Each structure stands twice: as structure tokens, then as C-alpha cells.
Amino acid sequence: MAPMTRTGEEMYALVERLYPLCRSITGDGVRATLRIVDEYIPLHVHEVPTGTQVLDWTVPQEWNVRDAYIADGTGRRVVDFAASSLHVLGYSVPVSATMPLAELRAHLHTLPEHPSWVPYRTSYYKPEWGFCLAQETLDAMPDGEYEVRIDSTLADGHLTYAEHVVQGQVPDEVIVSCHVCHPSLANDNLAGIAVAVFLARELAERDPYYTYRFVFAPGTIGAITWLARNRERVNGASPARAEPRARGRVRHGLVLACAGDPGQLTYKRSRRGDAEIDQVLRHVLTASERPHRVVEFTPYGYDERQYCSPGFDLGVGSLTRTPYAGYPEYHTSADDLDFVSPDAMADTLAVCREAFAVLDRNRRYVNLSPYGEPQLGRRGLYDALGGRSDTKQAQMAMLWVLSLSDGEHSLLDVAERSGLPFDTVADAAGALHGAGLLKA
């Protein structure tokens, strides 16, 4: 088995372990998920109490569910939470009652267009109860009395999120964020979690330039909570006072989701549209010749919209395969273990690896001998590259780097303008820097 295939299988095995757990924006399912992730990479887990003000939001009560079912007159469970965590409307208040099917129908959610699938539905901020089930199950339920029970609690508790930091050569940070709030949905969100975990392990082995901070948080409220608790790190301006945004540690970021489906890769630009991470992902995807799409930012989707909100305006994009709501299986029971594959997750991981390798090496330089072309031969620079199969290409890279090293152009700018591979350009810059011809 090839190494990448083996890594893909390991990521798939992690998805399998996480799949049965009932996750929500708070609760023991999130904690159980993070305990499993902690077996792979050490996590710093944060518990934020109910009622905490986080930007314009408030941390809600914690929700946990132990059991839930609809039983017919014989006591047979026709809908059973034990069979799938999708069967309960997320954040359902407790209920214990007997009622006719006509009354129960108002609390049932189905997908008539896909009669064998169970939808994923929530009611986070409105007290409600309900069940999600297949349309064909509902169609088979005769009129009559049904026992309805949801053994859940909504009580003061905590919102839980976690971080893992891969220390780099500099304190400037790249954040990698994925949401941990969905129940049994393999692509959205478990494949993203798995890719993030194995990306963190790979980065730890290569002494990265940037410090990489991995954030595992519930969607929306989790990212907002992280931002509220890390104002000094991100140094967002106060929108009310419109103060200038100070320079924080976070330089770049990437939100990972829908990382394991069979679709082509899709990169969604940051709100800025021209952030360095946007240029890097576009370049890497194009240079790899993978089928892909690059789409413009919209203020809807995953947590890139929180990181990119105008008060923070971080350079954070989003990488998925098929994007948000772009496949019929999205937010349904069909987003299962058969919908994701080791190869797709391995491919997503490979793009992340390639992108961060470029990001780590991308620099701006100043040519210290800008008046005419410096003599490279007497500095041994041509000889230093002798014997390479791409010697002529490497020499051209040196000339391009010298020509564009004016403090304004990055090495990625050089690669794109010259048409040369980024690694060749970066190697040339390293050699010129070593010879004293460039200053970072």
C-alpha cells in the first residue's frame, strides 16, 4: 500500500470512529469527539460557560440527549435515536407523551424527494422538539396513537472547543479551522476533521516557518467564541468605533469542510479576494492540473464568514471538495461512510500540504545589487546549480528573482509571471540570499 493510500485509510478509520457520535453545538458528543481527536494530536480543550457574551452572541445552554424514539401501539420503535443520531431534531427540548399521528406530523421532518433518506435538522435558538425520519418510514405508519419520548436536557453548562498548535520558526500564525457540531455526517464535517488532524501531524514533522493553530469548534457560535476570546491574537477593530485594525499574529487561514466526497476540489476566496492564501491556493490547484474551481467569497457557508467579517477581515479562505449544499446528500443520512473515500481525503490533504509548503516559503526580497545584472558566475551561483536536470530553468529563475525583487513582488508573483515552478524560484532565491544578493 502506497504511503498516501495508507494515510487515506487512516483518515477514513478516524471518520468511522467519529461517525456514530451525536454532536451538536454543545454537549457531551463534542467532548467525546475531541477526546478521540486528542488520541491523534494533543488538544488544549476550552470550556466556555453558558451565558458568556461572545461578540454579539451569547453562549447557549448545553444540550444532551440520552434516548429518543417514536413507538407504535405494540411498543415497537419505528424511529429510534439509537439507530442514528440524525433522528432527533437538534436541540430538541424533552418530551414524553402519547399522541395521534395527525398531531405528531407537525413535529416530523422528511425528504419526500428522497424517500429513503433521513434529513438533518436543528432548532438551536428556538425551543422546539421533533424527529427526522425517512419519508418511506412515515408512509408506513398507520393512523393511531404513538408514544413519543425525547430524553434530553437543556441546562446551563458549557460550549466546548479545542486547539492544537504546531510551533513554527516565527510566531506569526496560520489558522486551520473545522467545525465539530454535526452528528452522523461523514463528509460534512468528519472528513474535514480527519484531514485537519493528519495535516497537523505532517506539519509537526517538517519544522514549518509559520506557527499553525488548528481550531476544532462548533460552527458559527464556536468560531465566534474563538474570535471573541482571541482579540489580541487577531486584533480586529471594534466595528462600533471603526478603529484601525492593528497587526495581529494571524496572517493566513483556511477553513476545511466537505473534504472526502468524490467531487472536484473547490476553493472559496477570502472576503478580501486577494489575500496571500487566495493566491497560494489558486496557484497550487492550477499547477497541480487537478480538476478544480475557484469561487468568489459570499457571506454564507462555513466559518470563513466569521473570520472574514469586516471587523476582523482576516485572510481566510475555504477548501472543500463539493461545496456547501452542492450535493444532494448534503445534510442527510446519505452523507454516510459510503459517500466519502480514503482517496478523496488523501487528495484534499495533499493539496493542503502543497499549499502550506508554498505559503511557508513565499517571501518578498529586495535586490541588493539592483544596478545592472550582478555577475553570478564569479559568485559560484551557476556552478552551485550544475548537474541539475533543470539547470537552465534554475538560471532563468535567478534572473527573474533578481528582476522582481523590489520589495513589492513575492516569490509566488515571480513564479506566476515567469511561468516557472514555485520550488525552482524559491530555490533560486535561497541561493541568491546566501550569496548576499538579496535581503528579505
| Residues 297, 349 within the same domain | yes
| Residues 211, 300 within the same domain | yes
Q: Are 76 and 191 in contact, with CB atoms under 8 Å apart? A: no
| Residues 287, 348 within the same domain | yes
| Residues 77, 93 within the same domain | yes
What per-residue confidence (pLDDT) applies to 404? Answer: 97
| Residues 135, 184 within the same domain | no
Whichever domain contains 171, its CATH number is 3.40.630.10
pLDDT tens, 73-97? Answer: 999 999 999 999 999 999 999 999 9
Cell of 78: 419505528
CA–CA distance, 428 with 421 (Å, rounded to integer): 11
What per-residue confidence (pLDDT) applies to 390? Answer: 64
CA–CA distance, 304 with 420 (Å, rounded to integer): 31
Q: Are 191 and 260 in contact, with CB atoms under 8 Å apart? A: yes
| Residues 165, 241 within the same domain | yes
Residue ending a domain, choose from 130, 155, 180: 155
What per-residue confidence (pLDDT) applies to 389? Answer: 56
What per-residue confidence (pLDDT) applies to 384? Answer: 53
CA–CA distance, 45 with 378 (Å, rounded to integer): 56
Mean per-residue pLDDT for 206-216?
97
In the chain, how many domains are there? 3
**Domain enclosing residue 101, as ranges:** 62-155
Whichever domain contains 80, its CATH number is 3.50.30.90
Tell me, rounded to whole angstroms, the distance of Cα 96 from its chain centroid: 38
What per-residue confidence (pLDDT) applies to 247? Answer: 64
| Residues 138, 84 within the same domain | yes
Other CB atoms within 10 A of residue 185 CB: 25
| Residues 162, 248 within the same domain | yes
Angle at Cα 329 formed by Cα 108 and Cα 339, nearest 5°? 130
| Residues 55, 70 within the same domain | no
Q: Which of 404, 290, 424, 425 is nearest to 347 (CA)?
A: 290
- The more confidently predicted of residues 241 and 278 is 278
| Residues 41, 175 within the same domain | yes
What per-residue confidence (pLDDT) applies to 240? Answer: 45
CA–CA distance, 12 with 39 (Å, rounded to integer): 15
170 pLDDT higher than 80: yes
> Grid coordinates 472547543 are at which residue?
161
pLDDT tens, 341-398? Answer: 999 999 999 999 999 999 999 999 999 999 999 999 888 887 654 445 567 898 999 9
pLDDT tens, 233-276? Answer: 887 544 444 444 456 899 999 999 999 999 999 999 999 999 99
Q: Please list, in sequence order, all residues whose beta carbon lies within 8 angstroms of the beta carbon of residue 383, skipping any fewer than 6 positions away.
A: 377
Query: Which phi and psi angles does 224 have, rounded to 5°?
Result: -65, -40
Average pLDDT, the chain: 94
Mean per-residue pLDDT for 138-143?
97
pLDDT tens, 114-137? Answer: 999 999 999 999 999 999 999 999
Residue ending a domain, choose from 335, 360, 385: 360
pTM for the full predicted model: 0.94
Whichever domain contains 421, its CATH number is 1.10.10.10
Residue ending a domain, choose from 111, 128, 155: 155
Q: Are 299 and 275 in contact, with CB atoms under 8 Å apart? A: no
Mean per-residue pLDDT for 49-68?
98
435 pLDDT higher than 80: yes
CA–CA distance, 149 with 118 (Å, rounded to integer): 19
Other CB atoms within 10 A of residue 59 CB: 23
In sequence order, the β-bridge partners of residue 96 are 149
Sign of CA dihedral 229, 234, 240, 241: positive
- Cα torsion 175, 410, 237, 48 to 10°: value is 10
| Residues 26, 80 within the same domain | no
What per-residue confidence (pLDDT) applies to 60? Answer: 98
What per-residue confidence (pLDDT) applies to 380? Answer: 86
What per-residue confidence (pLDDT) applies to 246? Answer: 54
| Residues 137, 278 within the same domain | no
